[in-house]
Amino acid sequence: MQQPGVVIVGAPAVGPESTTLVCPSCRAQIRTRVEHNSTTKTHIIAILLFVFCCWPCICVPYCCDSCKDANHYCPNCSAFIGSHKH
């Protein structure tokens, strides 16, 4: 008698840009939808710019995607795929 196997699927590796992969939720071949979100690190950079008298540049961390996390979602089922932390 065979025992049922357990398959563990890890989260796919994602980067800062949209990537092509198979959605673990709906199993469709997709190109991920990326949403960039501000983090505590983004706010700290803005505060440091203010403290060091660079207040005209405070908005720069909020305008640059490189200062934010990239969250990847499936465009078909809107499932969360993974996150790339900066």
Predicted pLDDT at 54:
84
For the segment 32-59, the average pLDDT, to the nearest whole number, is 92
Q: How far apart are CA 46 and CA 11, in angstroms?
A: 31
Please calculate the CA angle 34-35-38 and round it to the nearest 5 degrees. 140
- For the stretch 10-43, pLDDT in tens is 567 788 899 999 999 999 999 999 999 999 999 9
Q: How far apart are CA 16 and CA 83, in angstroms?
A: 8
Distance separating alpha carbons of residues 65 and 39, to the nearest angstrom? 11
Task: Tell me, yes or no, whether 6 lies in a domain.
Answer: no
Residue 4 lies in a domain: no
pLDDT confidence of 5, banded at 50, 70, 90? low
Instruction: Give me the chain's average pLDDT, please.
Output: 87
Number of structural domains (the chain) is 1
Range of the domain at 79: 20-84
4 pLDDT higher than 70? no
